[in-house]
Each structure stands twice: as structure tokens, then as C-alpha cells.
A and B are shown apart, each in its own frame.
Chain A
């Protein structure tokens, strides 16, 4: 990789890391709306998609812990996304925990 490309990659990594907290906030707000049943169930698909996107991009931008945490959330949400059903009871608790873990993962190596 030449110097110019290395600089571009470094800047993209920094930009990606910088926007992550805002993305986490979006996901948390979306989940709050879903858990309160104020948003349509289709929001689960969007939440899964957002997790999937971070799964794919995190490690590429030097954040493997974020990728792993996002994958955990994505794998948990996948069946709900496919069936169009909202998590209920303990399942909702799990989603909340996974979202907290996702946010915390940004501080991990």
C-alpha cells in the first residue's frame, strides 16, 4: 500500500470510529421504540441490518471487538428479523444487553 493510500485508509478508520457512537445511539433509539411497541415490527429488520453492517465493517477498520459484538447482536436478531416477530420478555432484555455490549466494545482493543 503506498503512502497516499495508507493515509486515506487511516483517515477512513478514524472517521468510522468517530461516527460509531452516533450509530449506536440510532440503534438504541430504534430498539427503545420497538420495545415500547411504538414503531412497526419492520424496525427489527433495520436494526438487524445496522448490526450486520457493523459486523462487516468493524474489523476492516481496525475494530474487531466491535465486529464481534455486532455479530452477536445480528445473530440474535436474525430469527426475529426473518419471522417478523418482536422479541418478548427475556429476549428483549437480551437485546438491551447486547446493545450495551456493542457500545462498550468500541473501547476494547
Chain B
């Protein structure tokens, strides 16, 4: 990213003091205005902008945000370490290198997706598979699992939100690039992304690739939920690192099962034991 430029400050942003600011605060004299100084001393590398603004009792939130923008511009504060990793979101959809699954990944997907191929042959354009969660890839019991539903059809998005909320998930929605980035940046990050392919201003396969290349997000579970049901599309998703592929139209029970399987959960919060075959085909073939 370019050096000095004003950036939009978001409520969830977290800032830390730079050495320059620490020097400024330690010095006996400062050129900073009192309000800027008041905000600067509140920066702790942990609190979000919203929390910092709430603690700055004598300054309005809008002013705090403006001051933070100026402090950032002047190099007195910087995004915290976690936040710095998130800065890649600025270029999330604008990577210069071509985004294509490697030959090896495609070959692996072809080999691993025997179940998919079989389903395609048996059922036509219907695919419902999910990769069982492996060791260390579970949400654990500590928090409510969060699912980000990326879907531009509003009725489907609402349906998915209610269905998953009913199953005990924390559900968030996004329908375009801007909302995808905002939700991926938001804390806590989603445990799983339910990803449509055809969006008004984005391609779900591209989003999948960006997630797999992102230093913070690469381990995030992704299940493709799409009407793109050709063999090539399925292979593209699996080669791109999708943990599941469900074609629309879908059955609610199948979708819920896929989310639970990928997250290593079953109803009641018990963990699903990993089996030899990582892929699970779900549901009955349609008549």
C-alpha cells in the first residue's frame, strides 16, 4: 500500500502507537494539539476505534475519528499487528498476479472428488459434498460458530439466515464486494463462509482464491453454495480449496449438515470424528 494517505477509519479498526508517538509522548514538549494528545494517550493497541471514542469523554466521536486519521497520516499511530494483516483487504479484489488454482491442486481435487464425479454421473447436476473437519480445524465449544452467508438473492439470504440461526449459529450476510470485505474484516471473523458464485460485482471462485491466499483468512472454512453445477465448476471450487460444494436448489437439512460437518460439529455441539475419506456425500439422489 502507498505510504502516507488518508484512509477511511472504521469502528472496528485497532491502532497502536508508533515509536514516533512514543518519542513524542516521552518528550518534554509536544507540537500536538491538546485534543490530539488526549486521543493519542488512549491508543493501546487493543481497543477498537469505537471503544477509544467512547473513552474520550470530552471529544465527540466524529472528531476522534478525524484525529485518528490525522495521527495515522502523520505516522504517530499504525494499525495493530492483527489489523495490519487485514490491510490486505484493501487490495482483496485487485491482486496483480493471476488467480488460478495450480495444476497440482486441480489434479488433487480431481482425485479427491471421486465422490463428486460419481454424484455428477449418477444425479446429473446435483452435488452435495463436504470435507470433514480435520484435526485442529474445529471451532471448539468456546464460542458460537459464526457463518458468513454471501448471497445476493435477498429471499435466499433471509432463508439461510433464519435456518442457520435456528441451528444456533451466529449469522452475518453479505451480497457484494464491499460487504464481503467489511464482514471478513469484522471481529470476530467468521468460522465459515457460505459462498455463492455469481454475484453482481464479484465471482465467488475469485473470493475463494483471495481467502486462500490471505495470511489471516486462509484457514477459514468455505462451502460453495451455487447453481453453478457443471463438473468444471465443481472441480474449480475444490481445486480452489473449498471445503464443501452444494448446488442450488438445496435442501435445508443437507445444507445444515454440510456446515456442521465442515466445522466439525454435530447437533448438540459434539465433535465429528474425522474418518479416512475426508469427503462426505450427503442427501439422497433426487428422483
B155 CB contacts on chain A under 8 angstroms: 12, 15-16, 19, 57, 61
CA distance A57 to B156 in the complex (A): 7
Would A52 and B198 count as touching, CB distance under 8 A? yes
Q: Are A12 and B159 in contact (CB under 8 A)?
A: yes
Interface footprint category on B: 10 to 19
- Please encode chain B, from 225 to 254, with 1 for each CB lying within 8 Å of some chain A CB and 0 for all others: 011000000000000000000001110100
Q: Find out whether the CB atom of B200 lies under 8 angstroms from the CB atom of A56.
A: no
Contact B227 A56 (CB under 8 A): yes
> Which candidate, A1-9, A26-34, A96-104, is the interface stretch facing chain B?
A1-9
Residues of B within 8 A of A61 (CB): 155, 159
Partner of A8, one of B153, B162, B227: B162
Residues of A within 8 A of B252 (CB): 1, 9
Asked if A49 and B200 sit within 8 Å, CB to CB, the answer is: yes
Q: How far is the CA of A15 from the CA of B200 in the complex (A)?
A: 22
Q: Does B163 contact A (CB under 8 A)?
A: yes
Assuming the contacts A55-B227, A55-B248, asked whether A60 and B156 have C-beta atoms less than 8 A apart, the reply is yes
Report chain A residues within 8 Å CB of B249: 56-60, 64, 67
**In terms of DSSP, what is the predominant structure of the interface of chain A?**
helix
Q: How far is the CA of A107 from the CA of B198 in the complex (A)?
A: 27
For the side of the interface on A, what is the size category?
20 to 34
Tell whether, in the assembled complex, residue A5 and residue B162 are in contact, meaning their CB atoms are under 8 Å apart: yes
The interface bits of chain B over 203-229 (1 if a CB of A lies within 8 angstroms of the residue's CB, else 0) are 000000000000000000000001100
B63 at the interface (CB under 8 A from A): no
A8 CA to B226 CA, complexed, in Å: 22
Output the residue of A2, A4, A12, A67 with the most chain B CB within 10 A: A12
Q: Are B158 and A49 in contact (CB under 8 A)?
A: no
Binding site for A on B (CB under 8 A): 152-153, 155-156, 158-159, 162-163, 166, 196, 198, 200, 226-227, 248-250, 252
Query: What are 14 sample pairs from A and B whose C-beta atoms fall under 8 A apart?
Result: A4-B166, A8-B162, A12-B158, A12-B159, A12-B162, A15-B155, A19-B155, A52-B227, A53-B152, A53-B198, A56-B153, A57-B153, A58-B249, A64-B249
Beyond A9-B162, A9-B163, list 4 extra A-B contacts (CB 8 Å): A5-B163, A19-B155, A60-B156, A60-B248
